[in-house]
Amino acid sequence: MIIVTGATGQLGRQVVERLLTRVPAERIGVSVRDPQKAKALADQGVRVRQGSFTDADSLAHAFEGASQVLIVSVDKMGEECVRQHRAAIDGAVAAGARRILYTSQMGAAASSHFQACRDHAATEEALRATGVPFTSLRNGFYAASGLQFAGHGLESGQVVLPADGPVSWTTHADLAEAAAAVLADEGCFDGPTPPLTASQALTFDDIAGLAADVTGRTITRVTASDAQFREQLVGNGVPAEAADQLLGIFAAARAGEFATVDPTLATLIGREPTSLDTVLREQLTGNREQPAGTEGR
């Protein structure tokens, strides 16, 4: 049985939806914090069980009979994030899974400027230490996150953000489709995948230009200092630690950590990945892809 965690979150839910087009529902199980939110999946024949990365007993029940487990990374950063990932890995090993998959990120490295990428690197090390075959899905940076950063500026006409660098903005939907393809073809990747990215790497200057083309309005990119941006975040109620973590995204982008463009995602999904231009047009016309939900990045 293929077990998917975080299946009521933005990424996990779409993974299961796409997996259902590839394998019978009775071969799919989900581990979720609130089974009631997964009723639609249960109605389709998917096995739904309660599971939490902070409760080993619940994971033993949720992962029972697993041949593969897809661990969708939690929406946290730092020590607690890695601790929960290790608990999920231990649960998958204890359940006898013959392969563990994990939603990592391009740029995952202990030396990354971005805390989440350091967390992903630590989780990948924990996977290697198990001795169980694993696949680390090195996902591109979410397009929804980029548009969330730019959102207010697209309305006001000024995108005010710290200096950045090119980023391979990639949709949840395309990454979910790729994850389903890998789960359905067990063993097609061993260890970390190449970066799973769209076909372009764009800066916020590029995003402002695309938005101007779509709306016909003047939208300018204004560069704020890191200190100014941090002060603004904290002034809006963002905790200081979280503000520093968000700044890490811009530092990592400036260092080129998210600039790689790779054809692997297109090969997996059998078409060109959705462009940021398409996502932007959908957002500005009201049919937007939502940011990550509470379960999973």
Give tens-digit pLDDT for 98-144.
999 999 999 999 999 999 999 999 999 999 999 999 999 999 999 99
pLDDT at 286: 64
Amino acid occupying residue 6: G
In the predicted structure, residue 290 carries a pLDDT above the cut 70: no
CATH 3.90.25.10 in the chain: give the residue spans.
144-167+199-260+274-284
Q: What is the pLDDT of residues 24-83, one digit of tens each?
A: 999 999 999 999 999 999 999 999 999 999 999 999 999 999 999 999 999 999 999 999
Return mean pLDDT, the chain: 93
pLDDT at 289: 47
Q: What is the pLDDT of residues 195-229, one digit of tens each?
A: 999 999 999 999 999 999 988 999 999 999 999 99
Please identify which residue in the block is written with the tokens 């083309």. 213
CA-angle at 175, arms to 252 and 12, nearest 5°: 105
Backbone angles phi, psi at 123, to 5 degrees: -65, -40
CA-angle at 119, arms to 117 and 122, nearest 5°: 110
Predicted structure pTM score: 0.93
Of 193, 229, 214, 188, whose CA–CA distance to 275 is shortest?
A: 214
Confidence band for 273, pLDDT divided at 50, 70 and 90: very high
CA-angle at 241, arms to 236 and 242, nearest 5°: 55
Q: What is the DSSP letter of 26?
A: G
pLDDT at 69: 98
CATH 3.40.50.720 in the chain: give the residue spans.
2-140+171-192
Backbone angles phi, psi at 99, to 5 degrees: -150, 140
For 144-167+199-260+274-284, CATH number out of 3.90.25.10, 3.30.465.10, 1.20.272.10, 2.60.40.420 equals 3.90.25.10
Q: Torsion-angle region of residue 157: left (phi > 0), alpha (psi -120 to 50) or beta?
A: left
Q: What distances in angstroms separate CA 24 from CA 17, 45, 163, 176, 293, one per listed residue?
A: 12, 9, 47, 17, 26
In the predicted structure, residue 291 carries a pLDDT above the cut 60: no
In the predicted structure, residue 295 carries a pLDDT above the cut 50: no
The CATH code of the domain at 2-140+171-192 is: 3.40.50.720
* 3-state SS assignment for residue 71: strand
